[in-house]
Amino acid sequence: MIEGTVSLGQLVDWLSRFCDVVTEQRSYLTELDSAIGDADHGANMTRGMTAVMKKIGASPAGAADELFKTVGMTLVTSVGGASGPLYGTFFLRMGMAAGPVTEFNRAALSAALHAGLDGVVARGKAEAGDKTMFDALSPALDAFDAATGDGIAAAAVAAFAAAAKGRDATEALVARKGRASYLGERSIGHIDPGATSTTLLFQALSDVLTKE
């Protein structure tokens, strides 16, 4: 399968898998955040995604825009700190770009993801090198788009690898946004928790789309 599509059911599976991996990595995310933040990123993301899956389970969406609106609004209202507004905006913008569709081809999924990235930038004002989720998210989308000729699953695998590389690169950066920026040079040597959870988002997408 060279191109392929992503169904509404696979989008729900993606969110479910993301919930699972942030829950699995809750302690690690909190450990990262304890060094340069409020030590609550793991708890916040786990609480938020658990609430998302409960909401989706209680009222299944009929199309992608409805699904992502539910995700975004739930995260905004249930996740504290910066993560709720940022992840919430990401999914809200994805839904707005997606429209009332029940499947994506690669171009449509890319467009929705880029709309999400634009929302994160508009909300957080972050750019490359600021030591934020942007440093994993932007390279992931570049890699997704660059995987020309490959299937949508292979593009997701490439995005995950690029996100992980971006995440690891944040260790050497000085934080320029959020609470971590208060530490200045002392933020060097710590991986950004937001970039880490973003990498888990693409790990989850890769897991779902490569599953036979």
The verdict on domain 5-210 having CATH code 1.25.40.340 is yes
- Cα separation, 112 vs 9, whole angstroms: 17
State the chain's mean pLDDT as an integer.
89
Q: pTM for this one? A: 0.92
Q: Is residue 49 within 8 Å of residue 86, measured between CB atoms?
A: no
pLDDT surpasses 90 at 210: yes
Boundaries of every domain in the chain: 5-210
Q: Tell me the pLDDT tens digit for each residue of 75-128.
A: 999 987 788 899 999 999 999 999 999 999 999 999 999 999 999 999 888 887
Amino acid identity for residue 195 in this structure = A
> Please, which pLDDT band fits residue 156 given cuts at 50, 70 and 90?
very high
What is the residue-wise DSSP string for the chain? --S-EEEHHHHHHHHHHHHHHHHHTHHHHHHHHHHHS-S-HHHHHHHHHHHHHHHHHHS--SSHHHHHHHHHHHHHHH--TTHHHHHHHHHHHHHHHH-S-SEEEHHHHHHHHHHHHHHHHHHH---TTSSSTHHHHHHHHHHHHH-TTS-HHHHHHHHHHHHHHHHHHGGGSPP-STGGGGGGGGGTT---HHHHHHHHHHHHHHHHHH--
